[in-house]
Amino acid sequence: MDIATNCQTSLGNEEVVARAVQFFSTEKWRATSQSSRAATFQGKFKIPWFMLLLTIVAFAACVLPGIIMYIVVIKKAYGFVNLVVTANPIQGGSEVIVTHPKAASKFVSRFIDALPKIGVQ
C-alpha cells in the first residue's frame, strides 16, 4: 500500500521535477517517465540483514524451511517498487505530492526537507 506525502514549495513545477530526478537518481532510483509536472521512479529495496539471518537459520534447522525463506527473500529482492513525484501549480509556487511505499518514508522525507518552503527565503 502506497503513502502520499505532500508539501508546498516556492519552486515551479519543472524545477521540482528536475530536482526530483537529480535527487532520486543519485540514490539508485531509475526515472521511468518524466513530464513537466510528474516523474516516476523505479527502484529496489535492500534485503534486510535479519531476513538473511532467518534464511541461514532456516537452512540450518531443516532444508524445507530454508528453501521457503530463500524464495521469500529472493522475491523481495527482485521486486520493483514505484515512487511518483507530482507537482501541481499553486499561487507562489507548487504543491508537491510524492506517492511511495512505506519503506521509502525516510528517503522521501529527506527529499521534502530539501525543497524550499513557501515564504522562506
Q: Tell me if the domain spanning 1-44+80-121 has CATH number 3.30.530.20.
A: yes
Q: Write out pLDDT tens, residues 87-116.
A: 999 998 999 999 998 888 888 999 999 999
Which cell numbers in the block locate residue 35? Answer: 513530464
Question: pLDDT of 62-83, one tens digit each?
Answer: 878 778 877 877 777 777 888 9
CB under 8 Å to 13, separation ≥6 — which residues?
Answer: 36, 37, 87, 88, 89, 94
Structural domain boundaries in the chain = 1-44+80-121, 45-79
Q: Whole-angstrom Cα distance, residue 26 to residue 89?
A: 26
Residue 11's alpha-carbon distances to 31, 100, 116, in angstroms, are 20, 21, 7
Q: What is the pTM of this model?
A: 0.76
Residue type for position 109: S
Residue 19 has pLDDT above 90, yes or no: yes
